[in-house]
Amino acid sequence: MKKFDAIIIGTGQAGPPLASSLAKNGLQTAIIEKRELGGTCVNTGCTPTKAYVASARRAFIARNSREMGVNIEGHVQVDLKTIKARKDQLIADSHEGLERTFEKEELITLFRGKAVFLDDHTILVNGEELTAEKIFINVGGRPRVPKDFEAVNYLTNRSMLELEEVPKNLVIVGGGYVGLEFAQMFSRFGSEVTILERGSALMKKEDDDIAEAITEIIKESGINVLLNSDCIKAAEKNGEIEVTYNCEAGSKKITTSHLLLAVGRVPNTNDLGLEKTGVELDDHGFIKVNDELQTSVSHIWALGDCNGEGAFTHTAYNDFQIVNSTFYEDRKRKLSDRFPCYAAYIDPPLARVGLDEKQIKAKGIKAKVAEMPMKKVARAKEKGETAGKMKIFIDADTDKILGATFLGTGADEYIHTVIDQMYAGATYQVMRDAVHIHPTVSELIPTMLENLREL
Ligand SMILES: Cc1cc2nc3c(=O)[nH]c(=O)nc-3n(C[C@H](O)[C@H](O)[C@H](O)COP(=O)(O)OP(=O)(O)OC[C@H]3O[C@@H](n4cnc5c(N)ncnc54)[C@H](O)[C@@H]3O)c2cc1C
Ligand SMILES: NC(=O)c1ccc[n+]([C@@H]2O[C@H](COP(=O)([O-])OP(=O)(O)OC[C@H]3O[C@@H](n4cnc5c(N)ncnc54)[C@H](O)[C@@H]3O)[C@@H](O)[C@H]2O)c1
């Protein structure tokens, strides 16, 4: 049995910074990874998809700048091999950085293999037993694959990013983040894309007006959107995939060369041996944690997607910050201090922080709202990118900012002007009275806040 002070399972977004911090504080730390270093974000998530989104936007601009007085003669061609090679290089750079970090820190030992718990204190990896006083689980998740698709050659976010030829057709099941980001990028690469979504709008967790605006944007991108599509099944037929849907309303069919499943993710907790420990899971397989991310076993913590408290890189990294602060910082951080925030990298992007209209109403909070369509924003008009709208919600009793939803050009950046004020605990008057630079989209935030109405 090898004894360490700490064991970390997974090298995603929380594991590596935690390993560095534990080692710097003198703890002999083992970190275990069964696949590529860096986890989902680096290898099959944020980094590669945002690199592809950038290539797709260049292709879109090259084809669609005539009304801006820029004519590009001839056929705009997309070379997926080059796009993939560029993303492979970005990933290789990240791997190199992580390898260097682990190598240079003497107190960190990297194990390449699958970790399984034998009991609350013992972990088996590559036939070797490890033990430690502190154990951190950072195992992330994987795509959910419904039974109806198991028999066909479906793609996931991982295999999509290995393609070297642009598919002729691409049917995507699921109209959430993964579905929409891949739909728009592959449509811009030249695939004929269809989205099958069982909800009545794309991104249906958002406020209805936002989900409808996103659905319009995606349809206007030339993507075929089939909403309310339930009971979707797939079968191989003559070298292609036949997808059937809406079985009760008289089954409909689409034949496609490629099929992407984008129907959510499940945590990697099913084969971790957790049944041999006292670590409790919820009904969806997420590890239950308290405000400091401790599990039901006090020396085991769970960080990142596997605890179900966030499903983003920044939430996984913040989980590291929370745990690290409990050991080494005077200012203790807690899960409950975090404002939920995220962006969906469609074009234009959706960016969100805090509560939206649906959530405010469900909580029965008395609130005010300010709204602005992007077509009234000077900078958006100048850029020729006027799709979307901005909404900010204010607590009517305290004047504090409850949240904001920005759908529009550059929204993933200027949402931070709201995020920072929320962390500062400022009232909306601070933002209303600030002078913002002209011409920017952000300059309309103070203007919007002059015109609050009751929600
Ligand atoms: C297509 C896509 C695009 C995304 N884009 C964004 C984005 O733009 N912005 C954003 O914020 N988020 C994005 N996300 C989400 C983001 O990737 C995840 O939230 C983030 O990676 C979670 O980090 P994590 O540390 O919890 O887990 P992961 O990054 O999944 O890392 C977990 C690691 O643990 C390893 N592991 C699992 N089980 C074991 C075991 N038993 N033994 C050893 N190792 C194990 C895994 O191999 C993996 O390397 C995207 C996700 C996808 C799928
Ligand atoms: N920009 C980002 O930050 C980003 C990008 C990609 C992924 N992610 C993360 O990855 C997670 C997973 O993304 P996702 O898009 O796979 O999940 P999701 O939960 O965002 O969307 C899944 C969609 O599939 C639909 N669906 C589910 N089952 C279906 C079925 N059987 N038939 C038809 N439709 C069905 C749902 O109604 C939903 O709209 C996200 O929650 C997010 O945290 C983040």
State in Å: Cα 372 to ligand 1 middle.
35
Among 282, 316, 337, the domain boundary falls at 337
Distances (CA, A) of 163 to 81, 82, 160, 280, 428: 8, 11, 6, 39, 47
Query: 25 and 135 share a domain?
Result: yes
Instruction: Decide: helix, strand or coil at residue 55.
Output: helix
State in Å: Cα 99 to ligand 2 middle.
31
Question: Six-digit token pair at 1?
Answer: 């049995």
Query: 19 and 128 share a domain?
Result: yes
Domain count, the chain: 3
Q: Ligand 1 pocket, 227 CB below 6 A?
A: no
Q: pLDDT (tens digit, 0 to 9) for every residue of the chain, 455 residues total?
A: 999 999 999 999 999 999 999 999 999 999 999 999 999 999 999 999 999 999 999 999 999 999 999 999 889 999 999 999 999 999 999 999 999 999 999 999 999 999 999 999 999 999 999 999 999 999 999 999 999 999 999 999 999 999 999 999 999 999 999 999 999 999 999 999 999 999 999 999 999 999 999 999 999 999 999 999 989 999 999 999 999 998 776 788 999 999 999 999 999 999 999 999 999 999 999 999 999 999 999 999 999 999 999 999 999 999 999 999 999 999 999 999 999 999 999 999 999 999 999 999 999 999 999 999 999 999 999 999 999 999 999 999 999 999 999 999 999 999 999 999 999 999 999 999 999 999 999 999 999 999 999 99
CATH number of the domain where residue 208 is located: 3.50.50.60
Overall size of the chain counted in residues: 455
State in Å: Cα 40 to ligand 1 middle.
3
Query: 325 and 354 share a domain?
Result: no
Query: 138 and 9 share a domain?
Result: yes
Q: What is the Cα–Cα distance from 153 to 237, expressed in whole angstroms?
A: 11
Query: 322 and 196 share a domain?
Result: no
Among 285, 303, 337, the domain boundary falls at 337
Among 234, 263, 292, the domain boundary falls at 263
Say if residues 295 and 280 touch (Cβ distance below 8 Å): yes
CA-closest residue to ligand 2 atom 42: 311
The reported pLDDT for the residue numbered 316 is 98
The reported pLDDT for the residue numbered 249 is 67
Per-residue burial over 394-404, b if 16 or more Cβ lie within 10 Å, else e, is: bbeeeeebbbb
Residue indicated by tokens 């909404």: 391
The reported pLDDT for the residue numbered 251 is 80
Query: 317 and 446 share a domain?
Result: no
Q: Comparing C-alpha atoms, which of 123, 103, 136 is closest to residue 8? A: 136
180 marked as part of a ligand binding site = yes
CA-closest residue to ligand 2 atom 17: 264
Query: 86 and 115 share a domain?
Result: yes
Q: Ligand 1 pocket, 138 CB below 6 A?
A: yes
Q: What is the Cα–Cα distance from 198 to 281, expressed in whole angstroms?
A: 28
Q: Ligand 2 pocket, 306 CB below 6 A?
A: no
Tell me the three-class secondary structure of 59-117, residue by residue. HHHHHCCHHHCCCCCCCCCCCHHHHHHHHHHHHHHHHHHHHHHHHHCCCEEEEECCEEE
Q: Look up the ipTM and state it.
A: 0.98
Query: 74 and 185 share a domain?
Result: no
Instruction: Decide: helix, strand or coil at residue 335.
Output: helix
Distances (CA, A) of 202 to 127, 206, 212, 371: 46, 9, 7, 21
Query: 218 and 181 share a domain?
Result: yes
Is residue 438 part of the annotated active site? The answer reads: yes
Q: What is the Cα–Cα distance from 197 to 253, expressed in whole angstroms?
A: 14
The reported pLDDT for the residue numbered 253 is 92
CATH number of the domain where residue 387 is located: 3.30.390.30
- Paired with 367 in beta bridges are 395
Domain that holds residue 152: 147-263
Query: 247 and 364 share a domain?
Result: no
The tally of CA atoms less than 13 A away on the side-chain side of residue 14 is 31
- Choosing from 75, 258, 284, 438, the catalytic residue is 438
**Residue 93 backbone phi and psi in degrees, to 5:** -60, -40
Name 393's Cβ contacts closer than 8 Å, sequence gap at least 6: 354, 355, 356, 357, 360, 367, 368, 369, 401, 402, 403, 404, 455
Q: What is the Cα–Cα distance from 409 to 347, expressed in whole angstroms?
A: 7
Q: What is the Cα–Cα distance from 93 to 73, expressed in whole angstroms?
A: 36
Query: 288 and 230 share a domain?
Result: no
Name 410's Cβ contacts closer than 8 Å, sequence gap at least 6: 348, 349, 441
- Smallest-distance ligand from the CA of 345: 2
Query: 88 and 173 share a domain?
Result: no
Do the bridges between strand 240-245 and strand 233-237 make them parallel or antiparallel, or are there none, so unpaired?
antiparallel
Give the helix ranges, DSSP H, for 127-176.
157-160
State in Å: Cα 177 to ligand 2 middle.
5
